[in-house]
Amino acid sequence: MVLEATFNYLVELSKDNIFFVVLIAGLFVTLTTSTGAIIGLILKKVSLKYVDFSMAFAGGIMLVASFTSLILPGIDLGGFSSTAIGIVLGFFLMFLIERYAPHEHLSKKYEGSEILKGKLSKIWLIIIAIIIHNIPEGLAVGTSIIYDIDKGLITAFAIGVQDIPEGLAVSLPLIAAYRKVLLPILLGIISGIAELISALMGALLFTIFYTLLPVGLGLAGGAMIYVTVKEVFPEVYRDKKHQRLMTFGMLLGFMVMLYLDATLG
Residue 181 located in a structural domain = yes
Q: Whole-angstrom Cα distance, residue 32 to residue 145?
A: 19
CA dist 2 and 8 (Å) reads 10
What per-residue confidence (pLDDT) applies to 135? 87
112 pLDDT exceeds 80?
no
In a domain, 58, yes or no: yes
**225-261 pLDDT per residue, tens:** 998 998 888 878 877 777 888 899 999 999 999 988 8
Write the pLDDT tens digit of every residue in 177-225.
666 667 777 777 788 888 899 999 999 999 999 999 999 999 999 999 9
Owning domain of residue 102? 2-6+23-264
The span from the CA of 118 to the CA of 103, in Å, is 11
- Euclidean distance between the first and the last CA atom of the chain, given in angstroms as a whole number: 13
Asked if residue 183 is part of any domain, the answer here is yes
Structure-model confidence comparison of residues 37 and 145, the more confident one: 145
CA 179 to chain centroid: 26
Helices (DSSP H) in the chain: which residue ranges?
Answer: 2-14, 18-42, 48-65, 72-78, 80-100, 122-147, 149-178, 182-208, 213-227, 233-236, 243-264
Residues 82, 90: contact at Cβ < 8 Å? Answer: no
The reply to whether 13 falls in a domain is no
Q: State the Cα–Cα distance between residues 158 and 265, nearest whole angstrom.
A: 12
pLDDT at 71: 96
Evaluate whether residue 138 is within a structural domain: yes
The structural domain count of the chain equals 1
- Confidence (pTM): 0.86
Q: How does pLDDT run across 248-258, given as a tens digit for each residue?
A: 999 999 999 99
Per-residue pLDDT tens digits for 149-177: 888 888 898 898 888 877 777 776 666 66
> Strand 110-111 vs strand 103-104: parallel, antiparallel, or unpaired?
antiparallel
Q: Is residue 73 part of a domain?
A: yes
Q: Is residue 12 one of the residues assigned to a domain?
A: no
Longest dimension (CA), the chain: 53
pLDDT of residue 131: 78
